[in-house]
Structure 1
Amino acid sequence: MKTILTATLVAASVLTSVHARAQGTVTLYGIIDTGVDWESQSARAPGQTSVSGSAIRMTSLSGALPSRWGLHGKESLGSGVNAIFELESGFAPNSGALQNGNRLFGRSAWVGLETPYGTIRAGRQINMTYVALMKSTVLGPALYSLAALDPYLPNSRSDNTISYFVNFHHFVAGATYSTGRDGASSPGTAAVNGGAAFNPGATNCPGNVGGSSTACRQITALAGYWGPELGLQFVYDQLRGGPGLLPGSVSYDPSMPLVLSNSGQTTTRYMVSGYFQLGKFALRGGAIHRMTTAATKYQTNIFFGGASYMLRPDIELDGEVSRITTTDQKNANYYVMRATYLLSKRTSLYTMLGFMQNNSRASYSVGAGNFTVPNAKQIGVLLGMQHRF
């Protein structure tokens, strides 16, 4: 009896020690967000010269936010150091299909260390362009948002990445370095890129090529000040081209189907943006300059500004105005308004109204990922619902 009691006490002591040392948590979370979208002057495919008519459809890419689920873990290692990880999967709520280049954890898949001197992560993760943009736009990666003018912006994630970020008394700095920015490709029949279809979520540039340390490399950096009422930030983002995944293929620019056939061809962005918060009212905005140096040089400039206001604890109003200008004069003005009604802390209803004013050369669609024709003055209306868990 004494032997059994002693063994029981020893086992209990060991289990207690293990539990005390492994003070970790794993959280399951997610968002399901979808709605019904109506757009005037819609086209079935890019390149059409006349509209097919209006279109009505359920959103697959994003409503107010992209749908996703994920696991986030954190374990205390002592002395203010934590081991952390995240696995996040994007999906289309209208069909259940995987997003982000048909990857299971296409939104993020990383492990890292959180320390008093900053956070280090390794794996697929958002880069500093995305981090800064979420601080400076009121609409986020919605269906009607800056994604309609530049599809790279809501897809600014990098494979094979090491990152560092630190916040010291509201002064922030961060950087990412990717040895191969995107190891996924979408099959298709496009004439460019050896038969790979253009997809900003899978740009066919895996990198890690012997003898070419810069093929498909991406570097992003952020520096700024994030105060409780005022913030300002600067971002640098450069991605390089290289060999593609498919035999005989090459990579392409995630903003548009421009081939980046080797590591000497690049797309570089510079962003300055900020915010002002005063109680229930917020102003956010900025400017993004992009230069693609490939077979030819191509530039775009996006200017944006928006405001949000909590009319009541359960009603929020947002609005944003943006403009894009390009080297080949494909210019447009874009206007979006949104109203959100909070049914609870986790469930909301929303409506969005968008107006895209294209010039005679531009054909940006009011809804990101959809199509229209040059010179279209396109209206979009979105009614949606979001639930967080």
Structure 2
Amino acid sequence: MKRTLVALAALCAVSGAAQAQSSVTLYGVIDASVEYVNRVAASPATPNAGGYRFAQPGVGGLSASRWGLRGVEDLGGGNQALFVLESGFQPDTGNLQSGVLFGRQSFVGLQNSAYGKITVGRQYTSFFDGLANFSPLRFAATYEPGIWWMGLNYRESNMVKYTGQFGGLQAVAHYSFGTGVSVLNASTALANGGAGETPGHFSDNTAFGASLQYLSNGFGASLAYDEWRPAVTTGQPGTVRKFAGAASYTTGPLKVMGGYRWNKADFSNGSTLLRDDYWWAGVNYQATPALGLSLAYYYADVKSARAAPGAPQTNPANMQQYSFIADYNFTKRTDVYLSAGYARNGGLSFDSAATAFAFNYPTMKGQKSMVGVTVGVRHIF
């Protein structure tokens, strides 16, 4: 009888240990704000109409609102299975962010403590992963030109991705068998409305990239490359290429960072849609344990642009923007903030046809500058 009780106790202990090493976590962020913007057009198609706007935007000032599930199962021998399902929503209405339930992330994979992980599904590009630590505002949903910087394809469907962490060095590479852009404006010349894998046309909408990032002893550096081949017409893909380098240094409460991104987007006939050089610099300062301050500068040197393959080439004015955030944390999960941005020669966050007007800052005719201020509250769960 004693032996039976001991065996049952041991079995329960083993079962409990196995369960403790496998988990599913519900997580999320809700960020809601109120914003004032001057000189904003009523829509991209009506640049003669508009004025100031005082409203609650569909995205928060610091973070895009989201909820998700992530799970890990221990397979033994240093191996684990994992998954992530993440859904974005608009805090002002509760609507889905892009009309897709798990449009932010949806992937499953395997990982090993020594060799890294392989994930399959909808994910962030390796270009995004390699540069996320060098974003002055941590890719704030408002007043940081994230889509101009990363591209419309900063998330991609049908992706296989490798991520390896070797001490302070992170290596990431990915390949998408067919990715599309689900949020479009009619004047987004190279996007394809969400089309993915195309039977008989293997290269249509494919994408790939890689990044190397090093973080150690307060110093950080990164190199990243990204290529996307969107096909508006089946069998005739264009090409969008990006290359970037960045560096940062952290000492005590202060972090400084900066970088450069090269971009060239071509139509299928080889003519250039957009060629630009993008520069950024920023400072983060933790003034007190509760109060964080961030200041950033962004500059886009647009070498050439055209609206369609046969349209004339133009050289629009170079865009620049200054952004500021004051973020006060009541706890590790709840904070309030004030964020402000000043843009020159374009809309806030460099909003334009090239970004599919994703930030909702279309410019008015003849406009030279735009100012925005937003205050809000964010809760992380």
Which TM-score tier does this pair reach, normalised by the shorter chain?
0.7 to 0.9
Give percent identity, aligned residues only: 27
1:103 paired with 2:76, answer no
1:63-109 deviation line (CA, Å, top 9, x unaligned) = 2011111111112222222211111111000000111x311111111
Q: Corresponding residue for 1:130?
A: 128
Q: 3-state SS of the aligned residue for 1:175? A: strand
Aligned match for 2:363, one of 363, 372, 379:
372
Alignment of 1:75-114 (within 5 A): 75-99=73-97, 101-114=98-111
Q: Corresponding residue for 1:334?
A: 321
TM-score (norm 1): 0.83
Distance 1:48 1:220, change over 3 A: same
Q: Corresponding residue for 1:255?
A: none
1:234 deviation in Å? 0.8
1:357–1:377 Cα contact (<8 Å) kept: yes
Structure 2 counterpart of 1:370, one-letter code: Y
Q: 3-state SS of the aligned residue for 1:76? A: strand
1:37 paired with 2:35, answer yes
Distance 1:359 1:69, change over 3 A: closer
Aligned match for 2:213, one of 216, 221, 224:
224
Q: Corresponding residue for 2:308?
A: none
Alpha-carbon distance in 2 for matches of 1:177, 1:86: 18
Aligned match for 2:226, one of 237, 244, 248:
237
1:107–1:125 Cα contact (<8 Å) kept: yes
1:106-133 deviation line (CA, Å, top 9, x unaligned) = 1111111121111111111111122123
Distance 1:381 1:145, change over 3 A: closer
Q: 3-state SS of the aligned residue for 1:93? A: coil
1:371 deviation in Å? 1.4
Q: Corresponding residue for 2:194?
A: 204
Q: 3-state SS of the aligned residue for 1:308? A: strand
Alpha-carbon distance in 1 for matches of 2:237, 2:360: 29
Aligned match for 2:160, one of 159, 162, 166:
162
Aligned match for 1:65, one of 56, 63, 66:
63
1:159 deviation in Å? 0.5
2:33–2:377 Cα contact (<8 Å) kept: yes
Q: Corresponding residue for 1:254?
A: none
1:351 paired with 2:349, answer no
Give the CA RMSD over aligned residues.
Answer: 3.0
1:184-222 deviation line (CA, Å, top 9, x unaligned) = 64598x4888xxxx9x8x842212x22222111110100
Q: 3-state SS of the aligned residue for 1:204? A: coil
Structure 2 counterpart of 1:306, one-letter code: G
1:321–1:336 Cα contact (<8 Å) kept: yes
1:214–1:263 Cα contact (<8 Å) kept: no
Q: Corresponding residue for 1:175?
A: 173
Alignment of 1:280-295 (within 5 A): 280-294=253-267, 295=269
Q: For this pair of structures, how many residues does the alignment match?
A: 359
1:322-361 deviation line (CA, Å, top 9, x unaligned) = 111221333211000110011111100000111011179x
Structure 2 counterpart of 1:344, one-letter code: T
1:285–1:304 Cα contact (<8 Å) kept: yes
Alpha-carbon distance in 2 for matches of 1:166, 1:146: 28
Alpha-carbon distance in 2 for matches of 1:82, 1:363: 41
Distance 1:146 1:192, change over 3 A: closer
Q: 3-state SS of the aligned residue for 2:127? A: helix
1:383 paired with 2:375, answer yes
2:134–2:248 Cα contact (<8 Å) kept: yes
Q: 3-state SS of the aligned residue for 1:205? A: coil
Gapped regions of structure 2 (runs ≥ 5): 305-313
Structure 1 counterpart of 2:372, one-letter code: G
Distance 1:78 1:363, change over 3 A: closer
